[in-house]
Structure 1
Amino acid sequence: MARSVAIIGAGQIGYAAYHAFSSSGFECILFARTEPEWIGGWKGEFRPYVLGEDTAPEADIVLDTIAFDHGDVARYDPDKVGRYIAISSASVYCDDEGRTLDEGPVNGYPRFPDSIAEDQSIVSPGPETYSTRKVRMENKAREMFGERATILRPCAIYGAESRHPRELWFVKRFLDGRRRVPLIYEGQSQFQTTDAWWLGDMAVAAAEKELGGIFNVADQTAPTVTQIGQAIAQHMGTVIEIEPIEGTGPGFVGRTPWSLPLPMRVDASKAVEAIGEPATNYISQVKMAVDWLTEMNPTDWRAAFPQLAA
C-alpha cells in the first residue's frame, strides 16, 4: 500500500513537493487555505486548511512548509505522524559575532566562512525575529519527533508558483524593455540559491530513506547577482548591459533581492550524500521560474505578489 503524505502549503515548495511525492508513488493530500489551479493535473487530493483553526493533519509523512514557530509544530499528534519534515531556513545561521541576515541592516551583516555547513552557529531560539522563531520551531520538532524529525534549511528559494519570486526583479525589467541594469556591490553579491524542485526531491528522499536530522538544501554553487541576471536574460533572449555600482549607490538603484555586502554560500554536501544525486545548478534550473513569470507577466506586480511588495 502506498504511504500517505500530507503537504502543508501550496506555494512553490508545496508545488514542487506535490509533484515529487506523486511521481514517487505516494498518496498525496495537499492542505492549504485555497485550492491552487495547478493541482488539477495531478493525482491526489485537496483539503481546505487554515493554520491555527483546523485540526493538524495526520499521515505517514507530513511535509510542513508553513511551520514558523514552535506552536505550529505543537499542534501535531506525534503518534499520528510517521515522519515530520519541516522547512526551516538557512537564515538561522549566525557568524562568530552573533550577526545574522535578519538584523544585518541594523547590526551589520554576518561574515560567514567560505561555505556554511550544518554545524555553523545558529541564533538562540525566541520570539524576536523570523530566524529565532524558526530555531524554536526546529527545537520543538526534534523534541516531539526525535529521529522522525527532518529539518531542511533552504536558502533563497526559486521556482514556479512562488509567492515571493525574487527573479521578478529581472524578468519584469526585461519584459518592460529595459536593457541597462545597474547593480550595487558591483553585481558580485552572493546569496545562496535553492531550487524548489530539488528541495522537493530531498523531502522525498527523507521519507523513503528515513533520514532524520538537519540538512542544508542548496544549489551546487552560489551565483553572483550578475550571473543571475545574465542567466535570466539569456533564457529570455535578451541582451543586457550590466552597470556595476561600487558600494550601495543612490537610493534603491541597483538593489536586488540577492544584494548583500558579504557573501552567503551554503554547503549542501550532507544532503547530496544522503539523496545520492548532485544538487541542481541555478543557471540551468531557473528557466522554469522564468517561464512561469513570463507567462504570468502581471500588470500590477504588487497586487500579484503582496509578500514581495511588502
Structure 2
Amino acid sequence: MTSIHQAAVYDSDRRFLAVALPFIQDGLAKGDPVMVATTSANLELLGNALGRDGRLIDYAESGFLGRRTVERATAFHRYWQRRAPEAPCGGHVRIIAEPVWTGRAACEVRAWQRMEASLNLLLRGTNVWMLCPYDERVLDPEVMRSARRTHPAMSADGYTALDCSEYIDPVEFIRECDSVLPLEPPEDAATVHADTLHSLRAFITGQASFLGLSPDRAALLAVVVNEIAALLEVPVTVRLWERLGAITCHVHREGGRVADPVAGFLPPGATAKPGDGLWIARQLCDRLDIHHDLGGCTIQLQVPSARAEELRQSRKY
C-alpha cells in the first residue's frame, strides 16, 4: 500500500471547489471511501456542489476531530482502519484535511506544523490519500511556507500534483520543531530532583492538590508525568507552576532522548513498545512539547488549572 500526502493552496471559494470537487468525485467514482474535514463554510460549498452525492461522504468541521494534534492523528488512523476494507483493490481511503490555523499561539502553530510533517511517517503502510487545503486569504506566510516544507507534493486540480521543491525530510523538520526552547520555568516553580517514579508521583500529586486540582485530576497528572519520566528514565528534574489558567510541568532528563520522532501519536497496539505511555500523556494534556539539545531532553506539558477546568465543565450543563 502507498500513501499520498498533498497540499492544495486556494485563494477563493472557486479555487477551493476546483481542487476539492474533482478529488471527491474521482474517489466516489472509483469506490474509494471519502472523508472531508474542513471549515463550516467550505462544507456548505461542497454540500451545495455535490447535491445528493454529498450523502456518500463522511464529513466534519475541522475542530470536531479534536483540539490536540494527537486527537487528529488518531482520528485519521482509526478512520483508515475502519474504512480501508471497503476500498477497491489498488484504491485509497481519501481524506480532505484542513486544520484550524488562525488564532493559535506560536507554540500551537508549531505543534500543528510538526504534525503535518509527522503524517508523512504515520501514513506509511496505509492507502490513505490525504489532501490538505491551505487558505491563502487568511493564513500567515510562515504557515504557507511550512505547507510546502511538510507536503511532498502540491495539487491544483485534485487529480495531478507537482513535487514541492521546498519539501524536506520529515524527521529533519521535526528536529527543527523540537529544537525550539520551551517556556522558561519561573523562579517560584515547585522543583524536585526525582530518583524514583514513586517519589515523583508523590510530588506531583501533592503539588496538584495544593493548586486546587480534584483528587482524580491530581492522580491523572501524576500518571502523565510518570509515563513521561518512565520514557526518559529517572533521574529527572521536574518543575511545576500555574499561570494563565494552565498548570505547566517541565520534565528534564540529562542525556535523555525520545528516539522515535512520532512517538505517542498513534494508539498502542497489541505489542507494547516505547512511546505507548506518551500517547496516553498526549491524550490527557492540552499541550505537550518535546525539546532536544546538547543537555538532554525536556518534555513540557500543560493541563487546565482548577478554575479553567471548572469553566470547561460548566459548558456541559
TM > 0.5 fold call: no
TM-score by length of structure 1 reads 0.26
Structure whose CA Rg is larger: 2
More strand by percentage: 2
More helix by percentage: 2
TM-score by length of structure 2 reads 0.26
